[in-house]
Amino acid sequence: QVKYEYLMPEYTPTEGNLQARKEFQDMKFGMFIHWGVYSVLGDGEWVMYQQKIKLDTYKKLPKFFDPEDFDADEWVKIAKAAGMKYITITSRHHDSFSMFDTDATDYDIIDATRFDRDPLKELAEACKKEGIKLNFYYSLLDWARDDYKNGKKGDEEAWGDYVKFMKAQLTELLTNYGEIGCIWFDGHWDRKKANWNYDELYSLIHELSPNTLIANNHHIQPIPGEDIQTFERDLPGENKGGYSAGVEISPLPLESCATMAKTWGFDLNDTKFKTTKQLVHFLVKAAGKNGNLLLNVGPMPNGEIQPEFVSTLKEMGEWATKYGESIYGTRGGVIKTQDWGTITKKENTLYVHVLDAPTEPYIFIPELMEKIKSVSSFDGATKIKFKQVKEGIFLYPASLDDESIDTIFKMEIR
């Protein structure tokens, strides 16, 4: 692995950046959107690569992309109703197609489709109106550009051109769309051993917009200059998705990203939808590990989010409306995730989330040494018996409903 510590200048985040990190951690739940011309084929965002479609053929796709039902207000409404506080959308994915109005290439939504609207602009306006933070995903890897291809083979000049191209686009993304919460890089793994010129990319971003957070889904330890550590299809530190072997949790704000079925981009055959219960559990466990959940939708080629996703998101939102107090603004890392669930914390309150009822008639919370004042049901109406011992705490609720998504108890600490 490249030793980025030596390549990168020392990075001291500004006060505003540190505040933005805190606000990011408080938000807990965001909507990831993978949308591009690939949606026309309904076979995920990797369709060009996986179906071995030649570039010239793939480049005909934008002509079929005319998402006339796209309504940014509707997307923001869906995200908000789900309890999501921010949106991270693909501005350009690996297929190289820019989903925004850019002067750096003609291979973009304005020049290459008949749609002639800038969805990122419309989304930025809709987000601003509704108080939702907007973030941009940006692919480092590119399947179409010659400068990328030649640069990868060692042509320094071509690589320089590619870096210039990325800088021009990042400048547009950070100047034409109002305040952007985060630039979310992806695709690093395609050139694991290369110098990606992060010193130039990161300093450009932080110079243009110091409060914009930088995330890079590179599946390695954070590189100096980054503000968020990401985990793909994984809870922080677990490596169940297989992407982050050996990656340790850093002190940066953490974010897990996940799909609602299997793929990120719209896929007609992808019908193994995760249930509301599974997704709420993921959100709660992420919070318990001090991380956010960035949950993905892949809108259809007509511009709408598919109804199966919309209804699950609505149910998640109903849950969040009732129990959001135990998620938003909390911090995790209080205990290791247990078979029964986890804990989130806000000031003097610990929220015990029982996701899967234990077979024993009690809940044992190990490693918790804080002095407990009282334990109650989530609504505070019922006092819960408890016993604090050297090894942890026993809770004795009268009953535990395994059918419920999450039985929450509140513990007040001294």
Q: Which residue has the tokens 């002509």?
A: 63
How many other CB atoms are there within 10 angstroms of residue 125's CB atom? 16
CB of 95 to ligand FHN, least distance (A): 10
Instruction: Using the minimum distance from each CB to ligand FHN, give the nearer residue, 201 or 294.
Output: 294
What type of residue is 260? Answer: M
The least CB distance from residue 282 to ligand FHN, in Å, is 15
364 has which bridge partners? 394
Measuring CA to CA, how many Å separate 272 from each of 144, 261, 296? Answer: 31, 5, 14
Q: Which is nearer to ligand FHN, 231 or 409 (CB)?
A: 231
Least distance from ligand FHN to the Cβ atom of residue 157, Å: 27
> 164 vs 233, which CB is nearer to ligand FHN?
233
E strands in 168-307: 182-186, 213-216, 229-232, 254-259, 291-297
Termini Cα distance of the chain: 46
- Shortest Cβ 46–ligand FHN spacing (Å): 6
Q: Around 273, how many Cα atoms within 13 Å sit in the side-chain half-sphere?
A: 16
CB of 190 to ligand FHN, least distance (A): 9
Question: How far apart are CB 264 and ligand FHN at their closest, in Å?
Answer: 4
Give whichever of 183 and 352 is closer to ligand FHN, judged by the CB atom.
Answer: 183
Secondary structure (3-state) at 400: coil
Residue whose CB is less far from ligand FHN, 43 or 232: 232
| Dist CA 212 CA 172 (whole Å) | 14
Least Å distance, CB 162 to ligand FHN, is 18
Compare residues 229 and 338 and give the one whose CB is closer to ligand FHN: 229
Q: Smallest gap, in angstroms, from Cβ of residue 32 to ligand FHN?
A: 7
Q: Which has the closest alpha carbon to 95: 104, 106, 107?
A: 107
Cβ of residue 78: shortest distance to ligand FHN, in angstroms?
20
In the bound state with ligand FHN, the residue whose beta carbon lies nearer, of 25 and 216, is 216
Name the minimum Å distance from CB 141 to ligand FHN: 8
Least separation in angstroms between residue 325's CB and ligand FHN is 29
Q: Which residues bind ligand FHN (CB under 6 A)?
A: 45-46, 186, 217, 232, 257, 264
> Which residue, 107 or 264, has its beta carbon nearer to ligand FHN?
264
Cα–Cα distance for residue pair 411/207, rounded to 1 Å: 44
Closer to ligand FHN at the Cβ: 29 or 264?
Answer: 264
Instruction: Select 45 or 108, whichever has its Cβ closest to ligand FHN.
Output: 45
Cβ-based nearer residue to ligand FHN, 47 or 350:
47
